[in-house]
Amino acid sequence: MSDFIAAQDRALLESHGLASFDALWALKLEAVDEPNTERGGWSTVYRLELGERAFYLKRQSNHLTRSLLHPFGEPTFAREFRNIRRYAELSIPALQAAFFAERSVPSERRAVLLTRALDGWQDLEHWLICWGELDSARRTAILRACGELARRLHQAGQMHGCFYPKHIFLRERAEAFDAQLIDLEKTRPLLLGRRDRIKDLEPLLRRARIWSESEVRELLEAYLGGPADVEIWWRLLGARQRNKEAR
């Protein structure tokens, strides 16, 4: 895969001498969290501010994922970058990449992924924490935004794989909310129809237990595009949740 630089970010990166893998790899920044070392290598995230624009710079070494197409592994950022591009092509609202590249050096596989910061957005976890303080209109707007986001995702034939509150970002505007997704590493095509859709939605509801039954039904109505079949989906999601909790 060749190096990628988004057209709208190229001039800014070039003006700061950061339009190359080597420059972004060598840049001295303070990590925003502890390195991820689950896969034997490491992966770290940094915030990068260039004037009035902000990005998240992610660097990794030997942090690999394996698949049938890549039995010996590939950087997890390579998979996430492909999914970012796929979401853009399918018009699924999601984070946007500014730069991606990977390099192989002796005994090491490195990757860099630069994404635009979602300043002005808050993840759904933030809204769930203060859910009891929100008026009914804002609650309904959030539920509708989440349901419509899931509908766009699944109508495009994609399964997110980690459809959790911390991966759904919301931005309030007038009397509605915009919604988009982050963390696309586990995205894959919907292969099993409704079964995969249920599998994708259920973890969200399990992590948003503050939602009442009527609120979940509001989300499902937005997801399904109307009240038809809400009862069926409510029962199917409940059955999967009980099955997961019994394990």
Identify whether the C-beta of residue 202 lies closer than 8 Å to the C-beta of residue 178: no
On average, the pLDDT of the chain sits at 95
Mark whether 226 and 126 lie in a shared domain. yes
Mark whether 63 and 132 lie in a shared domain. no
pLDDT at 245: 84
The whole-angstrom distance between residue 194's C-alpha and the CA centroid of its chain comes to 21
Mark whether 72 and 129 lie in a shared domain. no
Domain count, the chain: 2
Beta strands in 91-144 (DSSP E): 97-105, 108-116, 122-123
Where is the domain boundary, 116, 131, 156?
A: 116
Mark whether 135 and 237 lie in a shared domain. yes
Collapsing DSSP states into helix, strand and coil, what is residue 168?
strand
Where is the domain boundary, 116, 139, 164?
A: 116
Tell which phi-psi region holds residue 114, choosing left (phi > 0), alpha (psi between -120 and 50) or beta: beta
Mark whether 199 and 216 lie in a shared domain. yes
pLDDT band at 199 (very low <50, low <70, confident <90, very high): very high
Q: pLDDT digits over 35-74, tens only? A: 898 878 999 999 999 999 999 999 999 988 777 667 667 8
Distance CA 66, CA 77 (A): 12
Distance CA 194, CA 106 (A): 45
Distance CA 97, CA 63 (A): 19
**CATH classification of the domain holding 36:** 3.30.200
Distance CA 111, CA 103 (A): 6
Where is the domain boundary, 50, 85, 116?
A: 116
Mark whether 37 and 103 lie in a shared domain. yes
Mark whether 15 and 100 lie in a shared domain. yes
pLDDT band at 247 (very low <50, low <70, confident <90, very high): confident
Distance CA 33, CA 16 (A): 25
Mark whether 102 and 154 lie in a shared domain. no
Identify whether the C-beta of residue 57 lies closer than 8 Å to the C-beta of residue 29: yes
The string of DSSP codes covering 24-57 is: HHH----BSSPPB-TTSSEEEEEEEEETTEEEEE
Residue 218 scores a pLDDT above 90: yes
pLDDT at 1: 59
Mark whether 175 and 72 lie in a shared domain. no
Q: pLDDT digits over 88-122, tens only? A: 999 999 999 999 999 999 989 999 999 999 999 99
Structural domain boundaries, residue 170: 122-246
Mark whether 89 and 170 lie in a shared domain. no
Mark whether 107 and 208 lie in a shared domain. no
